[in-house]
Structure 1
């Protein structure tokens, strides 16, 4: 793990507006900048409430973002962007919408294909404005520089990271999450927590990011159960929105580790929502890492409101119970994952080196398979 003498670069949107009722700030900023031709990238639900953004001029809406966007989904919105030629792109939705919006802001007219920008800092530039408006509290994509798209041919997620994909303005209005149902609230909240936990316990952990990570975990521990119980609890919704944003801050300079690597095949192969996959895997990877990061593991449990411990069995049981009590389904067998696919999933997860190489403890393919079997 890094210390204060280790250099780090932290990039944040130039403007972050945070608070209930601020969604129309998108229109205010668009007018102030003289932007008149907007492409909004959204899922079907949020496409029906684009008027909340109060955008000026000509507004075109792409409302077909998939929960786990793939290359055909990206290609469809890129084709629309080539026609519209927007001067502003707005990501309006969860992480999937915001991830696609990042790519829509940098690829059209660039001469670069998606394949050419996969990896870190390969994007040449950006000539349009990019606003991000999250409507869930999970990914924190509004504050980050990374976009993930599934390649159907390989069933793996390809990651693009670029400072050019950082939003000019992020508008975090927790009131937009009031309509999120309990099950999605629980799963996305655990996803936000997983971003924070994995960054906090990563080989690449850094004191400048630990601050955000630990506070994000505390916010989830304090507010997630409240928001699941009462979706109209505006304070709880605001706490989770802040936790999600802090989790997004963790992703650029540090990123996630084994938890996300082991969770990814559940989404790419079996279309399990990302937050649910992360929640199901979380107790197993945190417990696995506990022996090599005992102090930080104990702090994670304490931040969640659980008794501090670094004992493997205690960590697994306590965090499993934390997720299960939120109503999260914690058994792969109940999510229609065939048992005969576990070995293939373990092989694919083990190949995600960009994440597993960050993990504080080496994780073999057999150990990943054991996690899947324990979760089955």
Structure 2
């Protein structure tokens, strides 16, 4: 745990707009910047509604972002960027699109490849403008300086961190999230909450970040069920969008812990969407950490509107029910994960030291395997 006196920095986009109907403001901003060529990095669904951004000049769209983007997916986007030579790169979609947009903004023309920049502060610089517009409320990537892609050779996430990947402008328009289906709304909402919870209970937890973390958890507890029930509930969508942003603030200076480490192999090996993987794992890691963080664990449950407790079984049961009641599939077997893969997954998860070293309680490979078996 950090003290109030521990130095901390929270990078934020210089221009941050939050509110319903703001998406077209990107076009106005781009005109003010004199932008003539833009590359939008998006998934297929959002590629079809790029016109909503009202962008000026020549607009090229890379609309092939995968749910769990890998190096070949990134290389395809980079090749298009080399052709389009954009002055502005826009991430328009969920965390996958925004993460690829960050890398597309910094790598072309730099002489660097993805493996050259893995880790903190290795990116040489950025020559183009970068804008981020989230269309889900989960990752908070619009406000952060990290990007993740999967290396198919190792089945591991490559994590890049650099202030050069901070957006010049981020526009959070909750209206863009109203088309998100209930199941995806639930999973991405729990992902946003997991960012907050893991930062709140981390060894690196900081009082300044705790403020964002606890409020992000409260917002999810208050609004996620409403948004799942009614996707056009404007207040609920806005509350979740802000919760996701707060989760993004948590990722920068503190980052996640065991929850994300244990969830990652579900995405890299079995292509389970990241939010769903985090939701399925969330009850197990929160319960595991409860003995090391009893007071904060009770505060997490209280913020979610659940009975406060630090009892391992009680924590697991109430949070499992919270996720299941949202319609989240909570069994690995139902998601097509073969039982024979659990051993390899546990080995891979245990090797993700950049996250596990933040965990408030040391966790062994066998304890991770036990979580997978319980969740199976």
Determine whether 1:5 maps to 2:8.
no
Q: Residues 86-128 of structure 1, C-alpha deviation per residue, up to 9 Å, x if partnerless? A: 0000000000000000000000001111110000000011110
Determine whether 1:83 maps to 2:79.
no
Q: How does 1:222-371 map to 2 (within 5 A)?
A: 222-371=222-371
Q: CA–CA distance in 2 between the matches of 1:21 and 1:9?
A: 30
- Structure 2 portions without partners, runs of 5+: none
Q: Which residue of 1 aligns with 2:209?
A: 209
- How many aligned positions are there? 376
Q: Residues 293-341 of structure 1, C-alpha deviation per residue, up to 9 Å, x if partnerless? A: 0010000000000011111111000000000000000011111100011
Q: CA–CA distance in 1 between the matches of 2:111 and 2:9?
A: 28
Q: Which residue of 2 aligns with 1:25?
A: 25
Q: Which residue of 1 aligns with 2:220?
A: 220
Q: Which runs of 4+ in 1 moved over 2 A?
A: none
SS in 1 for 2:124: coil
TM-score, length-normalised on structure 2?
1.00
Report the Cα offset of residue 10 of structure 1. Answer: 1.3
Report the Cα offset of residue 8 of structure 1. Answer: 1.1
Q: Which residue of 2 aligns with 1:41?
A: 41
SS in 2 for 1:226: helix
Q: Which residue of 1 aligns with 2:166?
A: 166
Q: CA–CA distance in 1 between the matches of 2:322 and 2:341?
A: 27
Report the Cα offset of residue 348 of structure 1. Answer: 0.2
Q: CA–CA distance in 2 between the matches of 1:301 and 1:123?
A: 39
Report the Cα offset of residue 9 of structure 1. Answer: 1.5
SS in 1 for 2:348: helix
Q: CA–CA distance in 2 between the matches of 1:66 and 1:257?
A: 25
- Backbone CA RMSD of aligned residues: 0.4
SS in 2 for 1:308: coil
Q: CA–CA distance in 2 between the matches of 1:106 and 1:333?
A: 39
- Structure 1 portions without partners, runs of 5+: none
Determine whether 1:154 maps to 2:164.
no
Report the Cα offset of residue 36 of structure 1. Answer: 1.1
SS in 2 for 1:314: helix
Q: Residues 4-30 of structure 1, C-alpha deviation per residue, up to 9 Å, x if partnerless? A: 111111110001100000000110110
SS in 2 for 1:17: strand
Q: CA–CA distance in 2 between the matches of 1:318 and 1:256?
A: 22
Q: Which residue of 2 aligns with 1:187?
A: 187
Q: CA–CA distance in 2 between the matches of 1:299 and 1:340?
A: 37
Q: Which residue of 2 aligns with 1:375?
A: 375
Q: Which residue of 2 aligns with 1:106?
A: 106
Report the Cα offset of residue 137 of structure 1. Answer: 0.3
Q: CA–CA distance in 2 between the matches of 1:360 and 1:14?
A: 33
